Chain A
């Protein structure tokens, strides 16, 4: 008896709502909502049906499926392709290690990338560019990722090494891709031959890495007590932010050459990178400045009271707090940068979008298939950009930052 009574007294946790209840609460909570649901539901279904029918039967994916390598690496010489493969495997290895160490979002990314590679490797289609070597390479890259996972998970590798790896791999990668003068094995490959996703990532990553320190410098510069420094920084930031990226790209690609000595010839890709970097730096600077303003003065006074110098105060007290406060804004800025790399098409660089357009134009037959090509490119951009925004949200929530935007 006593036991029974006690059971009745137990406060049970609220049951997860049943399906019917959920539908009632979320779809038919009021008359207006009910009407809305009744109208929306069939519309959505019909649109989905149209899309699926078109993707499977209506579309001709020849212009996409025939050129996988062109989309991926552009004109990079096919006999030197192992260099791209090597760099890619390097990245996957680092991804594997990081997954093993930190799990979380990295795990999702690694698993998604791995299954995508696996899918391509076993795709039952005849494609001259997807030969046995390529399939074996893709398979072994998955293995490399798994090895990385084991190393990251089972060994006691220092975190600092892993982070250093993330810095070393891109540098080694760019050097390897560029090649060496007078080398038989690894000849120079000019950047005019680089293209496709390779260039898109290079511009985005390069722009992010280079614009960040420049942005920090400009942010401090604008807040400096020296009128010359703050004046110059302000003019620079506002000048860059006041014009569209297209004009900057155009300036660096055409006008800049007129302002430099005649014999200096800056690589076209580097010029595009410079424009992207400068543009992004001006925006980062304003974001970071917002963060700097948010750091309470007491923090700085406390640091000074502890006997920390200016440099130490800035690097260890002010900057970390400032950056933490503006992380969402900076992440958004970097996603925008990734999308903005498409504008290099306008100055004739064959990034991912540029390759797509070249393919459409290279054969009159493919002009008919431009819908498919554009949709394919939109999907690819969407996936990467969405992954970046997912990652930034995850980082924000782990760091306990409330993003109100």
Chain B
């Protein structure tokens, strides 16, 4: 018994070798160096500056990493109708997913060069912080604290606001009558906080029923577990359309919060940030200029100078500075269509998922908020 240490030693050594092998790609000698650096850091206590110096190059070079890898890693989801879902063939679909595809089409000329990583509400922040994903396009609300902590938010792709849905037969017409209501809500999101703020400001009591996952919220609401459910209005509309009797539910007019749903990229690489923004601008400008998925080729011989600039036929408007082809944005439009086409594909009158009037998500010149800087 007392000489059993040899097998144990052997096993332990193998284990550590395996562990270190899958843990890192650093060469063995590198470990020593790191140890020394940090001992210095801790003693001198200048963590911030030392960290900047020691900050690894990987986070700074997301664009080069993407180019080297050959595809875009996109943080999305598979369980929200309209924004990120699966079809019977297992293909990722949705408004958020199409944006990732547009970026891939711009960078690689191939909209399929995307790997969609399904993220939960809890790990989307860390996934962006650790640069595990190149883009986070998972109906994330842009807030100041997230901008500071998680990453850089590009351009608002969807203006949403939190609303309330309630049964018609409850006879309630305004939020003033909500005192004592039971409310179904997703936990761990801005929705939950907005709800708490709303009831506190209005001095009313309520009972929150919290769920980790969105569908559970609406399932419980429809079952009658709650009197009221609250979420982004786009979600409420989508969910209501799926109810057995959609007309038995009404979405109140009141909007209690601003929810700008925005794709985000990790901190540290301005070039990549710019590429993502550029793509979102292009999709919006394309709708404004009447360029669609179908007519993008013939529009290349358009007489409108702005169209020619957008499609990269005439001049270089910053595309090549970012390492893109002049025709990159034309590729993006050809792959997924312009902003309006993407919207209509999922949420238009003939949409796959549900129908939601565009409202604030109309172009700025049609009474909405969707606006993009000009191509110049």
List residues of A whose CB falls within 8 A of some B CB: 66-67, 69-70, 73-78, 128-129, 190, 192-193, 195, 213-214, 216-217, 220-221, 223-226, 229, 250, 253-254, 257-258, 260-266, 268, 270, 300, 310-311, 314, 346-350, 355, 357-368, 370
Top 6 nearest A-B pairs by Cβ distance?
A364-B242, A75-B90, A362-B85, A361-B79, A217-B11, A263-B58
Q: 9 A-B pairs, CB-CB below 8 angstroms?
A: A70-B86, A78-B89, A220-B4, A257-B126, A361-B79, A362-B87, A364-B243, A367-B215, A367-B219
Complex contact A75–B92 (CB within 8 A): yes
Task: Determine how close the nearest CB of chain A comes to the CB of B354; give it in whole angstroms.
Answer: 7
Task: Determine how close the nearest CB of chain B comes to the CB of A174; give it in whole angstroms.
Answer: 15
Q: Which of A66, A300, A355 has the most CB of B within 10 A?
A: A355
B257 within 8 A of A: no
Complex contact B117–A192 (CB within 8 A): yes
Task: Determine how close the nearest CB of chain A comes to the CB of B86; give it in whole angstroms.
Answer: 5
Q: Report the Cα distance A254→B122, complex, angstroms.
A: 9
Complex contact A257–B132 (CB within 8 A): yes
Q: Inside 8 A of A349's CB, which chain B residues have their CB? A: 118
Q: Report the Cα distance A216→B60, complex, angstroms.
A: 43
B104 within 8 A of A: no
Complex contact A192–B118 (CB within 8 A): yes
Q: Report the Cα distance A75→B123, complex, angstroms.
A: 21
Q: Is the interface of A mostly helix, strand, loop or mixed?
A: helix
Complex contact A258–B85 (CB within 8 A): no
List residues of B whose CB falls within 8 A of some A CB: 1-8, 11-12, 15, 22-26, 56, 58-59, 78-81, 85-92, 115-120, 122-123, 126, 130-132, 212-215, 218-219, 222, 238-244, 353-354
Q: Report the Cα distance A216→B214, complex, angstroms.
A: 42
Cβ-neighbour of A361 out of B11, B115, B215 (below 8 A): B215
Task: Determine how close the nearest CB of chain B comes to the CB of A33; give it in whole angstroms.
Answer: 41
Cβ-neighbour of A257 out of B5, B8, B130, B218 (below 8 A): B130
Q: Report the Cα distance A350→B190, complex, angstroms.
A: 25
Q: Report the Cα distance A258→B132, complex, angstroms.
A: 11
Q: Inside 8 A of A264's CB, which chain B residues have their CB? A: 23-25
Task: Determine how close the nearest CB of chain B comes to the CB of A113; give it in whole angstroms.
Answer: 24
Q: Inside 8 A of A358's CB, which chain B residues have their CB? A: 78-79, 85-86
Task: Determine how close the nearest CB of chain B comes to the CB of A367; give it in whole angstroms.
Answer: 6
Q: Inside 8 A of B88's CB, which chain A residues have their CB? A: 66-67, 69-70, 128-129
Known: A350-B78, A358-B85. A217 touches B15 (CB 8 A): yes
Complex contact B131–A363 (CB within 8 A): no
Q: Inside 8 A of B26's CB, which chain A residues have their CB? A: 261
> CB-nearest residue of chain A relative to B116?
A192
Q: Report the Cα distance A217→B6, complex, angstroms.
A: 12
Complex contact B219–A314 (CB within 8 A): no
Q: Inside 8 A of A362's CB, which chain B residues have their CB? A: 78-79, 81, 85-87
Q: Inside 8 A of B22's CB, which chain A residues have their CB? A: 266, 270
Q: Which of A73, A213, A217 has the most CB of B within 10 A?
A: A217
Q: Inside 8 A of A224's CB, which chain B residues have their CB? A: 4-5, 8
Task: Determine how close the nearest CB of chain B comes to the CB of A310; give it in whole angstroms.
Answer: 5
Q: Which of A129, A300, A362 has the most CB of B within 10 A?
A: A362
Q: Inside 8 A of A75's CB, which chain B residues have their CB? A: 86, 90-92
Q: Report the Cα distance A26→B132, complex, angstroms.
A: 63
> CB-nearest residue of chain B relative to A196?
B90
10 further contact pairs, Cβ within 8 A, besides A69-B90, A355-B86, A367-B239: A75-B86, A195-B90, A225-B1, A229-B5, A310-B4, A357-B215, A362-B87, A364-B238, A364-B353, A366-B242
Q: Report the Cα distance A312→B218, complex, angstroms.
A: 62
Q: Report the Cα distance A12→B240, complex, angstroms.
A: 75
Q: Inside 8 A of A226's CB, which chain B residues have their CB? A: 5, 8
Task: Determine how close the nearest CB of chain A comes to the CB of B30; give it in whole angstroms.
Answer: 9
Task: Determine how close the nearest CB of chain B comes to the CB of A78; give it in whole angstroms.
Answer: 5
Q: Report the Cα distance A349→B123, complex, angstroms.
A: 12
Known: A268-B117, A300-B1, A349-B118. A364 touches B24 (CB 8 A): no
Task: Determine how close the nearest CB of chain B comes to the CB of A366; give it in whole angstroms.
Answer: 8
> CB-nearest residue of chain A relative to B212?
A346
Complex contact A262–B219 (CB within 8 A): no
Q: Report the Cα distance A193→B90, complex, angstroms.
A: 8
Q: Inside 8 A of B59's CB, which chain A residues have their CB? A: 262
Complex contact B90–A346 (CB within 8 A): no
Q: Inside 8 A of A370's CB, which chain B residues have their CB? A: 215, 219
Q: Inside 8 A of B238's CB, which chain A residues have their CB? A: 364
Q: Inside 8 A of B15's CB, which chain A residues have their CB? A: 214, 217
Q: Which of B79, B243, B244 has the most CB of A within 10 A?
A: B79
Task: Determine how close the nearest CB of chain B comes to the CB of A12; give it in whole angstroms.
Answer: 58
Task: Determine how close the nearest CB of chain A comes to the CB of B42; give it in whole angstroms.
Answer: 16
Task: Determine how close the nearest CB of chain A comes to the CB of B77; give it in whole angstroms.
Answer: 8
Q: Inside 8 A of B215's CB, which chain A residues have their CB? A: 357, 360-361, 367, 370
